A and B are shown apart, each in its own frame.
Chain A
């Protein structure tokens, strides 16, 4: 009897979890955050997210074709990049600039390094860092949340023509006749006027800010869900938050009227989104458990240092990018102690 048998190498069993499933779950975890951003900022936020995600996908597809590397869009990782990028931009950010950010993020931040798995830094943040430098005004132009007409008309700057200065939004905001619009985010208010917006407001997200960074509680819940599914290393966000809070604490104790409270530091700006969804980017973070903690702490400390003493209002982005760059080094320092070894394993020389 001739029977066809197959030969494979051990292990002959495989856990049913693959990269595209993990990435898809990260996308699912981001959807509530996106939904809240659209609810809060209206059509402009929707167009912004669609633009960054669409351009990110198109860029990935284009480079995959160029390199004949097969279809890499299907692994869903580029969707995460697109969504995250959109969430970190001001809601009225001109769409053409958002497209540039998405293209640069995926092209320079990811494709140039060899695509999925090889990028040193988080591609969404690379894109954002580029437009931060290129369009300093647009990226710090904030619009109020819950504008009454947000589902019927766009923020004027959204549809700025390509290569044109953004359309000013001052008149539009004035037309909304809001009572308490100061034109600044809670972070800026704190930094420059030492006015601290109540923590409850920054926690729930009833404030101005980047499209998807305002509701700390929502981001926290989504992140925890992902961590519970073991698709996110809880050590990283926890370490980021610990690093930030512990760095902020002594200054606040020293002079609470000048420096922000640790609570405010945790729940304001992009810290939550950065900690849970960007610092935790698997590819760009250290692989060792102790390395992940060290890396998270570094991000937390750097964020607060930039916020308190740097020229910028927000420090999360540069903190993560710097820590990304230090990632391989941290991995090298923190190689696990091998079973039966007396000393720690030596890392790369």
Chain B
């Protein structure tokens, strides 16, 4: 950073922040399997798009890997049984987002094996692009980096758009999280298989794996495994938050900007998280579905932090019992501490989009409720905002309840709530939360006008 960066320039984007990483807690902990929780809770809406439709009924026995809910249309994915057991109920379950949603409650048999018995062998080389897209949907794959957008949808860009480059996101810019790092080191073959599938399905000419330069071991490891004849390269990018945000990584690697209101496909790019592609490479050859994922469980309030292969639907309470949650625990966050959501209940299950569970200490010195001062126009937020908004002005407008003006004159809709502005604000103004509220009010207003 600072002066040194002038001499040693890594590819990067404008602005951003350098929070303390805390990755040393789990970076060298290999991925370990966890036992099954007595009961798994599989919400039907773990992804963006239409919720899945249950295929099972209460009392029915299911085998690990068996489909238990089907996709409802193209922008939707199916669910698979993460363990062998019996369906206890289909009812409401708490989620991290707040409102309860429909979920399948699966009582796991005590002697249930970790082996997946539900197989459907396939010859990958014989599959055409359309078959891959269908197979990806059947596998229930969504963006495992946290976005949870159905992966197969990104393989079919809007008409008129051509995917030229697949960007493989191995940045993992959130503090504490190391699951993608471990995946790149431990599931390299599956990852490369997944990248080749994505290349074939999208018709892209090249794939670039973008990795923050705090994981140079992963870059070296990937480069050693990539044969020369593959159009796949691994590139180090600067360790800076939010490097792993889709738009930032595209800018860092290709120098292109996704137009306002547009998609990565508008600049010929599809971005996939390394975890998603590793699962793709792992699941597709055997025709399996997504039933578990790698989760980093870390934070100062966790006794034995690590990277774990967690069955989808494992309640946080069970997961945290396995690693030991100290009495000092305050917040339990799904995802990373910058963009993750603090859960209100430990009954919330791990879903497909959960890359990490971070437990912070109560009255964490970093979080001690600090005095909120008026904005002193120090411009730190302008220097931090990765999409070059004016959070200072947006914050003042939010206080004045001028939500429409925020969107019309100051590009509120470009904010993706990365949290950089609130992180740097010396006045401790909860800017990100202001913008979240403003956006939701604007959405409601638009809906009302639309109906009116």
Measured CB to CB, the residues of A under 8 A from B are 3, 5-22, 75, 77, 114-118, 233, 282-285, 287-289, 292, 331, 335-342, 345-349
Contacts and interface: CB of A to CB of B under 8 A. Distances in A.
Contacts of A21: 426
B436 interface: yes
Nearest to A17: B426
B417 A10 contact: yes
A19 B376 contact: yes
Contacts of A6: 330-331, 342, 362
Contacts of B423: 11, 13-15
A13 B330 contact: no
A285 B366 CA distance: 30
Interface in B368-416: 370-371, 373-379, 382-383, 386-390, 392-393, 409-411, 414
Nearest to B379: A287
B331 A340 contact: no
B415 to A, nearest CB: 10
B376 A283 contact: yes
A348 B366 contact: no
A228 to B, nearest CB: 10
B259 A287 contact: no
B414 A338 contact: yes
B313 to A, nearest CB: 20
A340 B332 contact: no
B379 A339 contact: no
Contacts of A116: 373-374, 376
B25 interface: no
A124 to B, nearest CB: 16
A19 B414 contact: no
B353 to A, nearest CB: 15
Given A75-B373, A117-B376, A11 B247 contact: no
Given A10-B432, A11-B423, A117-B374, 5 more contacts: A10-B417, A289-B382, A336-B388, A339-B260, A340-B387
Given A13-B337, A117-B427, A287-B390, A5 B343 contact: yes
B377 A117 contact: yes
B346 interface: yes
B260 A3 contact: no
B389 A338 contact: yes
B425 to A, nearest CB: 8
16 contacts: A5-B330, A5-B332, A7-B343, A10-B340, A13-B367, A17-B424, A21-B426, A284-B377, A287-B392, A288-B379, A335-B390, A338-B260, A338-B387, A342-B259, A345-B390, A346-B409
Contacts of A8: 331, 342, 367
Contact of A7 (B342, B388, B411): B342
B379 A340 contact: no
Nearest to A335: B390
Interface residues of B, number: 67
Contacts of B410: 335, 345
A28 B158 CA distance: 58
Interface on chain B toward A: helix, strand, loop, or mixed SS?
loop
A10 B426 CA distance: 16
B49 interface: no
Given A14-B423, A340-B259, A117 B382 contact: no
B366 A14 contact: yes
Contacts of B362: 6
A133 B331 CA distance: 58
Contact of A15 (B19, B387, B417): B19
A9 B251 CA distance: 28
Contact of A338 (B330, B393, B411, B424): B411
B244 to A, nearest CB: 15
Interface in B301-360: 325, 329-333, 337-344, 346, 358, 360
B430 interface: yes
B143 interface: no
A28 B367 CA distance: 27
Contacts of B93: none
Give the interface centre of B346, B376, B432 by most chain A CB atoms within 10 Å: B376
Contacts of A12: 331, 333, 337-338, 340, 342, 358, 360, 367
B67 interface: no
Contacts of B417: 10
- Which 3 A-B pairs have CB atoms at the shortest separation, nearest pair first? A11-B419, A117-B374, A339-B387
A77 B376 CA distance: 10
Interface in B254-284: 257-260, 262
A135 B427 CA distance: 38
A226 to B, nearest CB: 12
Contacts of B344: 5, 7
Contacts of A11: 337-339, 419-420, 422-423, 432
B246 to A, nearest CB: 12
A3 B375 CA distance: 36
A8 B422 CA distance: 13
A334 to B, nearest CB: 10
A336 B366 contact: no
Contacts of B383: 289
A6 B420 CA distance: 22
A9 B433 contact: yes
Contacts of B251: 339
A117 B425 CA distance: 13
B428 interface: yes
Contacts of A288: 379, 382, 390
A27 B184 CA distance: 49
Given A11-B337, A11-B423, A338-B389, A285 B374 contact: no
A233 B247 CA distance: 28
Q: Which of B358, B366, B426, B430 has the most CB of A within 10 A?
A: B426
A14 B375 contact: no
Given A6-B362, A12-B337, A339 B376 contact: no
Contacts of A335: 390, 410
B289 interface: no
